[in-house]
Structure 1
Amino acid sequence: MLDVQRLLVLREFARHGTIAATAQSLGYTASAVSQQLSTLEREVGAPLLDRSARSAELTDAGRLLVEHADQILSSVEAAESALAAVAGDVSGQVSVTAFPTAAVAFAPKLAAGTRPHRQLQLVLRQAAGAVGLGRVSAGDADIALVERWSGGAPDVHGGRLKHYHLLRDPLVLAVPRRHQIAAPEQSVYLPTLLDDAWIVAPHGEPSREGVERLLAPHGGPPATAWEFEGQGTILSLVARGMGIAAVPSLTLTLGTADIRFRRIPEGGPVREIYAVARSASLRRPSVAFVLQVLTKAAEKVQHEISSLLGSDDTRELRK
């Protein structure tokens, strides 16, 4: 009998095209992915991959099995969800992945919102949005919190996934509390700030894309910009007076006594934050309940951000 987990690995390989990319998507090692596929080939009794020294691609048998894998995996989960719906109990484990700032912002509210259901076990893990999306698609997680800077909703993987918009998260300026524009009455004009020391995320980080789009009309980030990974690290440096930064407003929830946040009056890039789940899992009472908790949590997070920025600096958040 075919193993469901190995069918998941095969389907992810079909999506990504390489062992390495499949491993990254699933959070596995490349050797573990290769081993799973080799075992599946033995179960099927036919080669599923045509391997060479540098690459691998699906054989005709592999492509045929992928077509059936989509149907098999969706049917199995739909059956499990239907049975759970009949029972009606909000119980069992629900696994959520979230990019770091979302994990910090949403964790307290998820814990409080799910507490009444003692039979529900919530597992929250940090993962980059693309990785989380892959884990949900592969069945290794139930819900992923993902971000989009470039517009457009998350990939629904051929209809297997459904997304729910949670909140808009615009960039805001983070400056030391003694900075010249720290006071609310001081105007914010980006061109006058380009001589400051800027602290940015490394190339390839999603927030770096937002900063580059923000500063592109003014010549882009200064050549002397410092690169540090992690919004918490960037904010700690701003708090110590080492420079200024443009950060997602969600970072206000990290706690920043020595930082002042200012809305960008010219407008700027906004990331959209979504919750993504498999369509076949939505009838599970536990998954549906956690999605409801996430929606309510997003409203509370948005209100907290508005309060921290102040009434004059929140118009962009409410759009």
Structure 2
Amino acid sequence: MLDLRRLRLLCEFSRRGSIAATAAALGYTPSAVSQQMAALEREAGTALLDRTARSAELTDAGRRLARRAEEILSMVEAAEAELSAEAGTPSGRVVVTAFPTAAVAFAPAIARSLADHTELTFVLRQSGLGAGLAQVRSAEADIALVDDWSGTLAEQAPATLRFFHLRHDPLVLVLPPWHPMSDPAEPLDLRELRDEPWMAAPPGEPSRQAVDRLLESVGGAPTVAWEFEGLHTLLNLVARGIGIAVLPALALVGVGSAVAVREIPQPAPAREVYAVARTAGVRRPSVAVTLRAIYAAAQEPLAYTRRPS
């Protein structure tokens, strides 16, 4: 009989590619992972890992079993979800992982929506796109809030994951409140701001790539004088008059009048925001009610002063 916990570990090894990475992801020691994989090999009656002194990789049998394990674990979760759905009452622990701006923007409304579900424990963590999806696939998290700048993420999703579109999040221009261009009566032309001290995320960040594309579309990107990790760091610096920036609108939730915000004429670069859950788990009352709370939170108007162009 194949042990389900060991099958889950095999799936994680298939995704991570090494015993060390698998151990780190699951909170085990590498020795414990090796022992559990050896036990699974005895249960399967064949070698699943091709081990060397420094590495290990799946054998052909290991890859076949890993694919089957994904299906088996999905079926088990679907059966559990059906039983849970019959009970009807959302209960237990739901873990949601979110990119930072979504966590800040949506958390208050989600908490309000779930407050009446006293048997439900809601956990919100922050993570990046790749980590969030991996945690949902490995069942470390039930739902991931992810952003997609490419427009293809949902189309490429495996059948084991369900994507729920939450909102369209365009880039907006962020200025100190006293900046001449903060006046909504002034026509917005980004070319007139080329000599301003621009700030942005470091190269390689998805938001930075979108900013560079935008500025190139109006005559070439100016030199970015400052690069900072974290969109909220950039917002704080704009509010202090250090420079100007182009940021996703969702990052501005809660900033009030600390900065001036100008909408960028269409078509402005934007990202799509999704909630992602395992297909087999969406029928669980706890996951379903949390998804509804997340969707409602994402539909609320953004709490910042919008200055049209």
TM score, norm. by length of structure 2: 0.90
| 2:166 is equivalent to residue 169 of structure 1 | no
Contact 2:96 / 2:124 at 8 angstroms: preserved in 1?
Answer: yes
User: Which letter maps to 1:173?
Assistant: L
* Structure 1 residues 233 and 33: CA distance shift in structure 2, 3 A: farther
For 1:95-244, what aligned pairs fall within 5 Å after superposition? 95-154=95-154, 157-218=157-218, 220-244=220-244
Which structure is higher in helix share?
Answer: 1
Q: CA offset at residue 53 of structure 1?
A: 6.0
> 2:306 aligns to what?
309
Q: Secondary structure at the match of 2:181?
A: coil
The answer for unaligned runs of 5 or more in structure 1 is 314-319
Distance (whole Å) between structure 2 residues aligned to residue 154 and residue 277 of structure 1: 12
Q: CA deviation at 1:118?
A: 0.6
| Corresponding residue of 1:66 | 66
Give the direction of change, closer, same or farther, for the CA distance of 1:194–1:266 in structure 2 (3 Å limit).
farther
Is the 8 Å Cα contact of residues 252 and 308 (structure 1) preserved in structure 2? no
Give 1:228-307 correspondences, 5 Å limit: 228-300=228-300, 303-305=301-303
Distance 1:133 1:202 in 2: 23
1:188-232, Cα deviation, whole Å (9 max, x unpaired) = 111111211111111232211221221222465433431101111
Contact (CA 8 Å) 2:19, 2:33: kept in 1 or not? Answer: no
Say if 2:136 and 2:143, in contact at 8 Å, map to a contact too: yes
The alpha carbon displacement at 1:256 in A equals: 4.3
Summarize the Cα distance change of 1:176–1:5 in structure 2 as closer, same or farther, 3 Å threshold.
farther
CA offset at residue 262 of structure 1? 0.4
Cα gap change, 1:104 to 1:217, in 2 (>3 Å): same
In structure 1, how many angstroms separate the alpha carbons of the residues matched to 2:154 and 2:54?
31
8 Å CA contact retained: 1:27, 1:131: no
Q: Give yes or no for the alignment of 1:8 onto 2:5.
A: no
The one-letter code of the counterpart of 1:304 is L
- Mapped to 2, the partners of 1:38 and 1:211 lie a distance apart of 48
1:44 corresponds to which residue?
41
Partner Cα distance (1:22, 1:204) in 2: 26
Distance 1:308 1:59, change over 3 A: same
SS at match of 2:82: helix
Distance of 1:220 and 1:268 partners within structure 2: 15
Once the two structures are TM-superposed, the CA of residue 140 in structure 1 deviates from its matched residue by 0.6
Task: Letter of the 1:105 partner, please give it.
Answer: A
Specify whether residues 4 and 256 from structure 1 end up closer, same or farther in structure 2 by C-alpha distance, changes over 3 A only: farther
Output the CA distance in 2 between the equivalents of 1:270 and 1:99: 16
**Separation in 2 of the partners of 1:66 and 1:246?**
44
Deviation per CA, 1:218-249, whole angstroms, max 9, x where unpaired? Answer: 46543343110111101010011000010000
Quote the Cα distance in structure 2 between the aligned partners of 1:268 and 1:34: 51
Which residue identity is paired with 1:244? I
1:180: Cα distance to partner?
1.7
Q: Structure 1 198/117 Cα, relative in aligned 2: closer, same or farther at 3 Å?
A: same
**Superposed displacement of residue 17, structure 1:** 4.0
CA contact (8 A) 2:212 2:221 kept: yes
List gaps (5 residues or longer) in structure 2. none
Identify the range of structure 1 (136-145 vs 254-263) with the bigger mean alpha-carbon deviation: 254-263
| Paired residues, number | 306
- Structure 2 CA distance for aligned equivalents of residues 70 and 49 of structure 1: 17
Which residue does the alignment assign to 2:87?
A: 87
TM-score, normalisation: structure 1: 0.87
- The alignment's C-alpha RMSD in Å is 2.4
Task: Say if 1:156 and 1:84 are closer, same or farther in 2 by CA, change over 3 A.
Answer: farther
Cα deviation for residue 97 of structure 1 reads 0.6
